[in-house]
Amino acid sequence: MKTLVFVEHADGKLKRTSLEAICYAKAMGGDVVALALGTLDSQSLAEAGKYGASRALHASDAKFDHPVIQAYSSAVAQAMQQEGCDHLVLANSPLGGPVAAKVAVRIGAGFVSNVIELPSTANGFMVKRSIYTGKAFAWVEVKSAKKVIAIRKNAAEIKESGAPVSPVSFTPSLTDKDFNTKILSTDKATTAVSLPEANIVVSGGRGMKGPEHWAPLEELAATLGAATGCSKPVSDMGWRPHHEHVGQTGVKVAPQLYIAVGISGAIQHLAGVNSSKCIVVINKDPEAPFFKAADYGIVGDAFDVLPKLTQALKSAK
């Protein structure tokens, strides 16, 4: 068994969820080869070795700097063929998911997305995946020899098991047909902590009373090194950008800690946060349904509790 891990990177570093994918592949057994596409310095990619990759491939061509799904899929499929890999593991991100699916189609592999745990191999190859937006799980048996596994955050523990590896240059042969979508421009917040990657998320709802009142919430997030999120009404009213919307039809998060401020807890919002390890709800309405889904609750006014909580965290540091 030999596994290719497609690793994503941002701001010159490998993403945490990609490190998890390397650790997941390592724990499955067999050799692990990491592949990165686009501009990245070789020291950063060499880190893949620390988490279990015995080899790292790098297609550094700048034309990969804007991710075109088709071109990425072709590069991944070619790397698997060159390296003789029969498994592909990657993070189930907006980029990784479609790439995994296309590669699975091309190589005739069984494909499972949203995988949340290491496989069980006692009785066939079984993986557990999240379904109904985290409200349930399904056990899936993969019968084919080739397998493609797209993992959710926290599917594997990140641990170091080796030393850095020097990346090897990889040159996939791509045609114009692989670049079948053209990226015209990108409009991206550069300073914010990535919401799907974050270990702590602080979200605000209608109880925040308006976009001009977000400062205490942002201050708490900054103190915790957290990403900021929001409820659907807040994003619908334009108080916060859509990419911050957490819930059934927005971003699904799985942080260690989720702090909800002034969010009542509609079932659609809960669907986006129910994979969080610990949920704290701050709401002035003691009847808010969100308290039933929380680990800790504070009944109180957001503008009173937030600064006090920020202060308490600063003092406790």
Partner 1 sequence: MKILVCITHVPDTTSRISFVDNNTKFDATGVQYIIGPYDDYALARAVELKETLGATVTVLNVGLAESDPTLRKALAIGADDAIRVNAEPADSYFVASQIAEQAKGFDLVLMGRESIDFNGGVVHAMVADMLGIPSVSPVMKLDIEGTTVKMAKEIEGGKEYVEANLPLVAGCQEPIAEWKIPNMRGIMSARTKPLKVVEPKAVDTLAKTTKFELPPPKGAVKMISAEQVEELVTRLKTEAKVL
Residues 180-199 that bind partner 1 (CB under 8 A): 180-190, 192, 194-197
Q: Assess 175 for contact with partner 1 (CB under 8 A).
A: no
Q: How far is the CB of 176 from partner 1 (least distance, A)?
A: 12
* Residue recorded with tokens 């039933």: 292
H-run or E-run covering 220: helix 215-224
- Determine which residue in the list 9, 13, 206, 243 makes contact with partner 1, applying CB under 8 A: 243
* Contacts (Cβ under 8 Å, ≥6 apart) of 311: none
Terminal C-alpha separation, the chain: 46
Sites for partner 1 among residues 77-96 (CB under 8 A): 93-94
Q: How far is the CB of 287 from partner 1 (least distance, A)?
A: 13
Number of residues binding to partner 1, judged by CB under 8 A: 91
Q: Which stretch binds partner 1 (CB under 8 A): 30-38, 41-49, 81-89, 240-248?
A: 240-248
The CB-side HSE value for 264 (13 A sphere, CA atoms) comes to 10
Residue 307 CB-density burial (10 A; 0-12 exposed, 13-18 middle, 19+ buried): middle
- Determine which residue in the list 105, 158, 168, 237 makes contact with partner 1, applying CB under 8 A: 105
Q: Assess 203 for contact with partner 1 (CB under 8 A).
A: no
Q: Assess 143 for contact with partner 1 (CB under 8 A).
A: yes
- Cα 66 to chain center, whole Å? 19
For 2, 100, 134, 277, the CA distances from 22, given in Å and listed in that order, are: 12, 15, 23, 22
Distance in angstroms (rounded) separating the CA atoms of residues 268 and 273 = 9
Distance in angstroms (rounded) separating the CA atoms of residues 214 and 195 = 17
Nearer to partner 1, 160 or 301 (CB): 301
Distance in angstroms (rounded) separating the CA atoms of residues 297 and 84 = 52
Q: Which stretch binds partner 1 (CB under 8 A): 43-51, 81-89, 153-161, 302-310?
A: 302-310
Q: Assess 131 for contact with partner 1 (CB under 8 A).
A: yes
Sites for partner 1 among residues 39-68 (CB under 8 A): none
Sites for partner 1 among residues 111-130 (CB under 8 A): 111-114, 126, 128, 130
C-beta separation of 72 from 96 below 8 A: no
Nearer to partner 1, 113 or 231 (CB): 113
Distance in angstroms (rounded) separating the CA atoms of residues 216 and 279 = 19
- Determine which residue in the list 38, 162, 299, 303 makes contact with partner 1, applying CB under 8 A: 299
Nearer to partner 1, 55 or 244 (CB): 244
Using CB under 8 A as the criterion, what x/- string covers residues 251-290 for binding partner 1? -----xx---------xx--x--x--xx-xx---------
Distance in angstroms (rounded) separating the CA atoms of residues 198 and 257 = 9
Distance in angstroms (rounded) separating the CA atoms of residues 291 and 280 = 8
Q: Which stretch binds partner 1 (CB under 8 A): 52-60, 78-86, 99-107, 166-174?
A: 99-107
